[in-house]
Structure 1
């Protein structure tokens, strides 16, 4: 019995140390406002991931060898958290029971990587949609970004993470600085 227990323990530890598929750590930097623009207006935040595939990167190394790569954490939750921190810094009070809601829809978030032994190309795309609904009306706007990078040797996981994090951060800056969105939220929440 002791030998069986020892064998099972060794097998379990071996399984834990087996190599796993690479994953990307997505951690965008929201814009933290120096001066709040909202006066504690309440807003509820919701989000949906409307992408057809749940991976965030595709690596094509030729000869029909394509590898999808997922994020280490749920992308919808990560982006909702970043947007929540950004809106809180702007002076909005994020709450569960508000008449006004802001919904974040993820339409596209992908890093396409084509690489060979000597070089790689990274093409990143991000498209988000914000829907603000209040008793006074509805505001819908899409925010998108693209980036392209090339480099020597094959692309690393860190290269892909940097490309996606920089792109998400740039789109969050666009959302922060959008006068239409800010005016609508301040006047209608």
Structure 2
């Protein structure tokens, strides 16, 4: 019994000390409006993650050595919270009991990294879809962004985080500045 307890303790300590896979921390910065666009317009906010793979980055070091990296937080929830803060600054009230609904669909979010001996290529893609449903109709629009960068040596986790955060921020700015979306929401909510 003592040997079994000792073996279990050693196994538990070994499991705690093994290095874990690196993860990306995403910190999107929504656009905060200086002046609200609307007053008292209520809408329900929902989101779905429709990606086929749940990791955020893929690092290809060659020789068939491919490593997927995940985010420290749930990407869908992170994007929904950022969009919620952005909409609240525009004057919208986010509430569960509203006749109008805005749904955020995450279609693609990926950082691809290819390492060679002396350099790396970093390619990022993000595609989001907004679906606004009101009693008078439906508005659907996709927002996407791409970025590519080449650097010396290997790409760090911070390089990958910066690439994805910058891409998310750019897409949030596009959503904020979209006149078609803003007009539809102002007229139909």
For the aligned pair, the TM-score class normalised by the smaller chain equals over 0.9
Matched, 1:149 2:149: yes
Residue 26 (structure 1) shift: 1.1
Paired position in structure 2 for 1:26:
26
> More displaced, 113-122 or 159-168?
113-122
Q: Distance in 1 between matches of 2:49 and 2:87?
A: 20
How far is 1:27 from its partner? 1.2
- Does 2:126 align with 1:129? no
Corresponding position: 1:173 with 2:166: no
Instruction: Compute the TM-score of the two structures, normalised by the length of structure 2.
Output: 0.94
Counterpart secondary structure, 1:170: helix
**What SS class does the counterpart of residue 39 from structure 1 fall into?**
coil
How far apart, in 2, do the equivalents of 1:158 and 1:72 lie?
13
Q: Which residue of 1 aligns with 2:97?
A: 97
Return the alpha-carbon distance in structure 2 between the equivalents of residues 58 and 25 of structure 1.
15
Alignment of 1:29-178 (within 5 A): 29-178=29-178
Q: Distance in 1 between matches of 2:11 and 2:66?
A: 31
Distance in structure 2 (CA, Å) of the matches to 1:92 and 1:35: 12
TM-score (norm 1): 0.94
- Equivalent residue number for residue 182 of structure 1: 182
Q: How many residue pairs align between the two structures?
A: 189
- The aligned residue for residue 12 of structure 1 is 12
SS class of match (2:113): strand
- SS of residue matched to 1:87: helix
**CA, structure 1 residues 130+21, in 2 after alignment: closer, same or farther (shift >3 Å)?**
same
The offset of 1:3, in angstroms, is 8.7
Structure 1: how far apart are the matches of 2:82 and 2:17? Answer: 32
Gaps of 5+ in 1: none
- Report the Cα distance in structure 2 between the residues aligned to 1:178 and 1:75, rounded to whole angstroms: 23
- 1:3-35 Cα offsets, whole Å, 9 max, x none, are 976775564344223200111111111111111
How well do the aligned residues superpose, as a CA RMSD in angstroms? 1.5
Provide the secondary structure at the position in 1 that maps to 2:70: strand
